[in-house]
Amino acid sequence: MTPREVLALCREREIQAVDLRFMDFPGTQKHFTIPAKILVEKSFEDGFGFDGSSMRGWKAINESDMLVVPQPDTAFVDPFMSNTLVMTCNIQDPITREDYAKDPRNVARKAESYMRSTKIADVANFGPEAEFFIFDDVRFDQNEHECYYHVDSIEGQWNRGKAGSTQNAGYKIRHKEGYFPVPPADTLQEVRTEMMLAMMDCGVDVEAQHHEVATAGQCEIDMKYAPLLKTADNLLRYKYIVKNVAVRHGKTATFMPKPLWNDNGSGLHLHMSLWKEGKPLFAGSRYGGLSEMGMYAMGGILKHAPALFAFCCPTTNSYKRLIAGFEAPINLTYSYRNRSAAIRIPVHSPHPENKRFEFRCPDSSSNPYLAMSAVLMAMLDGIQNKIDPGHPLEKDIYDLKPDELAELPSVPDSLEHALQALRDDHKFLLTGDVFTEDVIDTWIWYKTNQEVAALRERPHPYEFAMYYDI
């Protein structure tokens, strides 16, 4: 929509409030609201002021004033708030009017612009498969004298023997057996359908929704592929809708990668393809039906994967998902059909427009603007430098012998190691000024000090089980 069309929509739908949203640096959506009568055509150029020093990893207090500039093509009517229109905003400096380098959306815009400048492609399509859990109860705390968490779900296997509950009909989902059950075992069918329909009403194209593998309410709703920036914008709507529909049903949703020990974690599998002048570029006669360009794109991702993990798996909890035996990739390989590889080439359709590959390592704790931009930059680097992805993996990784497994490059085993990989390998991200040294340095500083060090300093509950009586 244009600014004029947004204002017409406000009049047509009797909008009284306009919610201005943006993504902070680590990846949490922020907002503030203005009366609809304040929004005029000039607002889409002038923007609205806010305090940037209160955002994690952004401005110092002596240079705190910043602008949010609403983007009319992102407008939708909020399904949870009365008479409210939502728009995603870009962040600008109020003096220079330059786009702010640490605005994640700006990084994604620059990544798309740089891709077009290379003449390699004019569209990078991403199709995300975001997994999440819906729990009935969650409690956790961390302070000087205690640390604990407790999650519960009426579907949870541990509730099979629960007494005194009208909800215990015996249809509990066993660990790792939650894929595609029908109701009554799947208690969340109507909740997910409500989420799906709300997404579609808000302009997010959806392909399917279903229960996922883990017990205790693991779910997935698949979005249709779209260009990078639009996909990242849609993922913000996706999370917002999932969380608010869950709350409306008295439940809680989390995109935490590994909230349950000993069952599958939640990933953000990214299906990717490059296009030029309306034609797909990844279809060809090479391995798995890929083109030479598609092979080089995979080569770029595999070469830079350890550094990519700093953005694609950006929490300490991410690496509790990336362990053997739970369908998460643990080695940096590619394969046709094989879901145990880091990159899988799907076989669903022989049509060239459907030819793509799937990067299975990322998870939904990532900032989608930064994660997908980093992946695109790795693909472009692979294409430009003709990086060979090596030999494919045709076997199940989990069945390999130790000597065979030792020959395969593995994923980083911690956020700390991923951040070190980013320190050592980030030149490809700086090309075209897509990421800047300041963005890289701030990301590493924030994640190291606020997350890696913070976890290292605190006793873990399991340490009491292991060491209290030592």
Q: Is 31 a catalytic residue?
A: no
| Catalytic member of 220, 363, 381, 451 | 220
Q: How far apart are CA 96 and CA 316, in angstroms?
A: 37
| Catalytic member of 109, 192, 237, 269 | 269
Burial of 101 (0-12, 13-18, 19+ CB in 10 A): middle
| Catalytic member of 24, 112, 136, 358 | 358
Q: Is 51 a catalytic residue?
A: yes
Burial of 167 (0-12, 13-18, 19+ CB in 10 A): exposed
| Catalytic member of 129, 194, 222, 263 | 129
Q: Is 358 a catalytic residue?
A: yes
| Catalytic member of 186, 212, 363, 416 | 212
Q: How far apart are CA 72 and CA 392, in angstroms?
A: 44
Q: Which two tokens stand for residue 440?
A: 């890289």
Q: Is 212 a catalytic residue?
A: yes
Q: Is 339 a catalytic residue?
A: yes
E strand or H helix at 17: strand 17-23
What 3-state DSSP class applies to 143? coil
Q: Which residue has the tokens 């990784």?
A: 397
| Catalytic member of 249, 339, 417, 423 | 339
Q: How far apart are CA 191 and CA 293, in angstroms?
A: 41
| Catalytic member of 5, 45, 51, 63 | 51
Provide CB contacts within 8 A for 457, sequence distance 6+. Answer: none
What 3-state DSSP class applies to 316? coil
Q: Which two tokens stand for residue 8?
A: 């017409």
Helices 189-201 and 228-248: crossing angle in degrees, nearest 10, is 130
Q: Is 269 a catalytic residue?
A: yes
| Catalytic member of 24, 78, 112, 131 | 131
Q: How far apart are CA 162 and CA 414, in angstroms?
A: 37
Q: Which two tokens stand for residue 109?
A: 């815009």
Query: Which are the catalytic amino acids?
Result: 51, 129, 131, 212, 220, 269, 339, 358, 360
